[in-house]
Amino acid sequence: MKLLVTGGAGFIGACFVRQTIADTNDEVVVLDSLTYAGNLENLAGLEESGRFKFVRGSICDPEAVEEAIEGCDAVLNFAAETHVDRSITDPGIFVETNVQGPRVLMSAAQTRKLRYLQVSTDEVYGSLGPDGYFYETTPLDPSSPYAASKASADLLVGAYITTFGLDAVITRCGNNYGPYQFPEKLIPLFITNALEGRELPLYGDGLNVRDWIHVEDHARAIRTVLEKGETGKAYNVSAGGELNNRQICERILEILGKPWDLVRFVDDRPGHDRRYALDATLLRTELGWEPQVRFDAGMQGTIDFYRDNTQWWERIKSGEYMNYYDRMYAQRLADSDPQPSGQGVHT
């Protein structure tokens, strides 16, 4: 099979591509515009396989998509703007990339009768109280502009299936952690800040609960849904790893042998969802996927990665790796908000 993987230079897409090249004979074409979050270092060495090609371009650009999709058998869309805090500061780019982009991709997939997989998120369901779970049938009720843009794309996928007969499936996963995650997100931000002896900025009371999963388990789930998922269905992806942000902080500090007084409580994010928890029975029973990485082992491996690869994240945090969009974003933040950037964490 030859796969078009969009957003393959980001955290989850790159993991999926590395896994695909290592575990299958598939060819992979990555289409990525290399925003601040895209990093070719995440894909280093894959050319040697002879089954990997990188195309720089936007999923919103029909010409770039035409070039990249040539000869492909399926399209997997990982490309997105993904940071909730950025979506509060600058929602426009989220609508452009996360809604218009999937439309362009689906039109191209539909013309060629290709399978389309939309990588979505549990954030489309909104917020849960202390009990219960999100099911695939739970109505979409997004809180942030990021979540609303992802929910919009999910609805558009449904419309392409119903109206045009597109062969499409959706995955909705909880919070990922693992190597190569951009250090604006909670776990890599806290690990790298702790390694640098800097503060860990914790939103609100720190009791927001997320459903954590190792990125390799998510990538394997996406492969499973690509191969076995029923057209028109969405599949929740969860390893049952519910933890609140305070517990995440405690684990990180404990493994690194750092004191709790590095933690600084900061004002809560507007519209901050309280709890996410997914029921993934469908994926497990109908498609036979099971998570393989236990949280403690996954977290130890993740911390080892950031400890052993300081160059990778120091370049990003120092701004040396920042591209135009990120500088623009930093400038807007500075213009609109006198708070120091880096307070925000995506959970």
Identify the CA nearest to 204 among candidates 141, 260, 246: 246
Q: Which is nearer to ligand NAD, 179 or 261 (CB)?
A: 179
Strands in 33-179 per DSSP E: 52-56, 74-77, 115-121, 168-173, 176-177
Q: Which is nearer to ligand NAD, 45 or 165 (CB)?
A: 45
Least distance in Å: CB of 221 to ligand NAD?
A: 11
Residue of closest CB approach to ligand NAD: 10
Q: How many CA atoms lie within 13 A of 119 on its CB side?
A: 28
CA separation for the pair 121, 125 (Å, rounded): 8
123 classed as catalytic: yes
Task: Please give the backbone phi and psi of residue 66, each rounded to the nearest 5 degrees, phi first.
Answer: -55, -45
Q: Which is nearer to ligand NAD, 247 or 258 (CB)?
A: 247
Sites of contact with ligand NAD (CB under 6 A): 6-7, 9-13, 31-35, 37-38, 58-60, 78-82, 97, 101, 119, 121, 150, 173, 175-176, 182
Least distance in Å: CB of 291 to ligand NAD?
A: 14
CA separation for the pair 237, 260 (Å, rounded): 32
CA separation for the pair 110, 53 (Å, rounded): 23
Cβ neighbours of residue 341 under 8 Å, at least 6 residues apart? 330, 333, 334
Least distance in Å: CB of 149 to ligand NAD?
A: 9
Least distance in Å: CB of 338 to ligand NAD?
A: 26
Cβ neighbours of residue 108 under 8 Å, at least 6 residues apart? 62, 65, 66, 69, 75
Least distance in Å: CB of 322 to ligand NAD?
A: 13
Cβ neighbours of residue 313 under 8 Å, at least 6 residues apart? 183, 188, 192, 306
Phi-psi region of 143 (alpha: psi -120 to 50; beta: other; left: phi over 0): alpha
Q: Which is nearer to ligand NAD, 84 or 264 (CB)?
A: 84
Is 121:150 a contact under the CB 8 Å cutoff? yes
Q: Burial letters for 107-118: b for 16+ Cβ neighbours within 10 Å, e otherwise?
A: ebbbeeebbbbb
Q: Cβ of 48: how many Cβ atoms within 10 Å? A: 9
Q: State the catalytic residue, choosing from 36, 116, 125, 146.
A: 146
CA separation for the pair 282, 175 (Å, rounded): 19
Q: State the catalytic residue, choosing from 122, 184, 217, 273.
A: 122
Q: State the catalytic residue, choosing from 85, 123, 217, 242.
A: 123
Q: Which is nearer to ligand NAD, 27 or 211 (CB)?
A: 211
Least distance in Å: CB of 146 to ligand NAD?
A: 8
Q: Which is nearer to ligand NAD, 89 or 262 (CB)?
A: 89
- Residues with catalytic annotation? 122-123, 146
